[in-house]
Every structure is written in C-alpha cells, then in structure tokens.
Chain A
C-alpha cells in the first residue's frame, strides 16, 4: 500500500463521482480511481467477490473515499463491517459527505472513520478538498493490511 495506490470511491451519485474524478484530475493526482455505487458493492469490492474477484483489475485500495448516505448499506454500516475484517480493518477510510449534522460526524468516527470531509458545493472548493487529501496522503504513513501480528 502506498500513496500512489488505488482509491476506491463509494458514492451513489454518478454526478458526484464524475465531479470527484475531475477534481482529482484538476488537483493533479494520479491515483487510479475505482468506483462503487452503494454499500453492498463496496463490501463486495473489498472482499474481492465477483465481479470484483480479479485483484489485478480491482486491487485493494490505499484508501476508501466514501459517502455516508448510500442505498443498500450506508457508509457507517460498511465501516462497522470493515473494522471487523481481518486483513482489511486498518484500511484508512475518508468520509466525503454533504451532511453537516454533528450526529453524522460523531457516528462516522464512532464507526471507525479516519477523516470526515465536507462535500463542498462548488467545483473549486471540491478541487481544494481533494488537493488537501492528496497532501495528507503524501505525508501519511499507511498501515499494512495483511500483517496481523
């Protein structure tokens, strides 16, 4: 796992995913992006279940950038599942949500989120947010997922 690794985007909004991809591009980030559109797909991807069983095509991500409000298991449910999985539980998860509710922030961190970023309404702010994420990734030390010592 490294800072240039794959980033898995989990968001039910196709528009937001496209805008996020554009923001990554404008922020000059080269990380490969994979996308899933609800909580169940996110879990299937992380488990490597079909159609995500080819790890060459769908590698384990360096970070999971996830929306909170999604159909078929929301972000918190995915987090709770993830934190109980051997070989996955240390995966850094960054929440990217439009919710400004204190309760949602609290619940996300209680469920095991590592960061909570507010989805801004303008593209320029989204670019700034992704740049900040890129800067953080530059300096962050990523944990090993598999070594369970």
Chain B
C-alpha cells in the first residue's frame, strides 16, 4: 500500500510535534492553557469574525473524522442540524470512554481539558447550541473533579455562560457523571441516560439531530473530535487536513497496549504504519516474541492476523481494506503465546456483561457466545461449536437497535475466521460413530 521509501501517510512522524497533548507543564490549568498555548484565542476570534455557518463549513472542509469510532466527518454531522428554531438545541460531548483497550479521552481530560472545552464552545457557537452536556465516564473521578474546578473558573471569567467573551452568544457546559455502563457511550443511550432514563439505545430514525435530548435537536461528538475542532479553528482547515492520512487527517491519540516493550499513549498523525507503531514507537515486541495479532481500534473491531498488517496504516480507509476498523485507535498487540480462544473468552465476557438487554438477539446472544467460547477454552468444546458461533453471529448482526450486537459478534466471527487453528486445537476431536468402531479425525 503506502510505505514506499520509508515514507508513510503519516509523513515525517519522527519529528511530529504533538498538538493535542503538547509537552507543556500544567497545561490542564486555565492560566497555563491561556498563557502558553494560545488558549481561548480561537473562540474569541470566531465569535468576532465568523458566522456560525462558516465554522461548520471550515470543520467540514478540514474533514475532521469522528474519533469515537465511526470516523464520520464531524462538520458534515453538524450540518445535519435543522435551522435554529424556538426549541433549545444541545451538544453532547461523549466522554464515556469504555471500549476495552481505549484510554485516549482520559489523557485529554487529564492533560488538556481546555482544548475540549474550547472545542465545545466552538461547536456550540457553530450550531448555536444552548448547552453542552459532557457525559464523562463515572470512573474518571479525579478528572471530573478537576474539570469541575476548571469549569467554575471558566464561568467566573465569563468564558462560559451568559454572553461569553462579551459577545451576544450565550451557552452552558454541564458535566455529567456516568454510572458505569458501557452502553451509555452509544449516542442514543447516552441521551437517555442524560435524561435520567435507563440507558437503552433508541431507535433511529429519528436521528439525534431531529429528536435528541428531551426531543430537541442534538449533536453528539467525541472528546477528541471536539479537541480537534479547536485546532482546526486555530490553525485553519488546510493546516489540519495536511496532517496525517489525506482521507482521515489530523493527529490521533494511540492507546497501545499489549505485549510490547513500551506500551502507552502516543500522539502521532493518523496514517501511521501499524508496524512502525509496534517496532519504532513501542520498541518492538516484549522479550523478542513474534507478533500474533493486532486489534487496531478497541476490542469490538475485527482483530488482524500478524500476516495481515504489512503496509496497513492507522486510518479508516486502509484499515477497512485490511479487514478491520479504525475504531477508537486503542490498539491491542498480542504475541505468539496468546491463546486467541482465551482472548475471545475475555472479550465475550465483557460484551455479555455490558449488553443492556433491550433487544433479544444481543441480550441472549452475547451470553450464549460467551458460554460456547468458555466451553472451548476449557477443552470441552466440539468442532461444531465453531459453526454454531458463526451462525449466532449471523443471527445477531444487524438485527438490533444499536450496533452493540455487531460489536459483540465481530470479534467472534473474525477471531474464528483468522485464528481458527487456535480454536481447533482446543476442541475435542471430531468423533464419528461408525457402528462400534470409533475413528478419530
């Protein structure tokens, strides 16, 4: 694919200067953010000089692709909002980061929360929102406390609230703590949860832009997406789209975990070669073991076999071609000692535990998948169980209200497809009854 002459879509990534998480001490504090990072300059400029619609166009043009997993053009999403009418309009910032293997939003909220707040203000202005609800994963207690304090400062300084920065635009930011359900990161169930209801996903249509929070027009964006909006408005769409992969521009935060020498959170441009991330960024496989599998974007995306990653870059298009997805950019790297059955068992357990139980196929299917994989993992499985697993995936995918069933079924389908030998090795050998004479196959 790319990777000719050592050049990748990520360009000169070795010398990349971090833009989301720049190395500035105490950047999470408002005064530092303002003094050393041009904080809240973009919003002030936009409030004075830009029409809301122009901001939407700029973000659309920059092609900021949603960092929550779907990689949808954020500006395009914003343009789905109906024209401003009598009803209130809301932005919801999805900070309910719960996908296993993902911890990028947490870094932003810990080290650069004001980038997110400024992005929220820009988005609120662009779409003329009355308020933004930041739905933060409940376990992020320290950062919620910290952001609450920073938000108070913002209100005190008139950056948020009535007539922000002396303009005639007023908007609010409300922090909301989640109660620990993975499903509340799904945008419609996030809205239900915010409304105080059970976190059940809603049927689409109506889409949030038509009927969202309390029935009003709503847009939901990921923390990282909104942080990028600030950068786009600060430096311009052209600057932004020049970074990283052309079709999926910008930098992104890679949360890389697994059997590596230096696992961790790294900010680099999109379009990084997976091999570069493993070998050069993370210092190669731990103990010199061989690579077995890469799960590029959180546990719900299809895992890639080691054979499949040559030349694959971390952007939506390349990963789709390779047979996986960008997801959240939370990359899981597994070495040759990993038993993919055990890996899948753990993933299945997560989805079984987190299924909200609203739709039949997901509620019943996730548990059944786990039960079968557990049985195989314990050496009690049969080869026919593999066919049953694939069959159950067929029965779940695309048959539910939200994409949770898909997210639960894909790892099963693709882990079996791509690592079948691990499963076959653990299954009991097929036994055919041939009338008294038993033959093992």
A and B co-occur in one complex: no
Interface residues of B (CB under 8 A from A): none
Interface residues of A (CB under 8 A from B): none
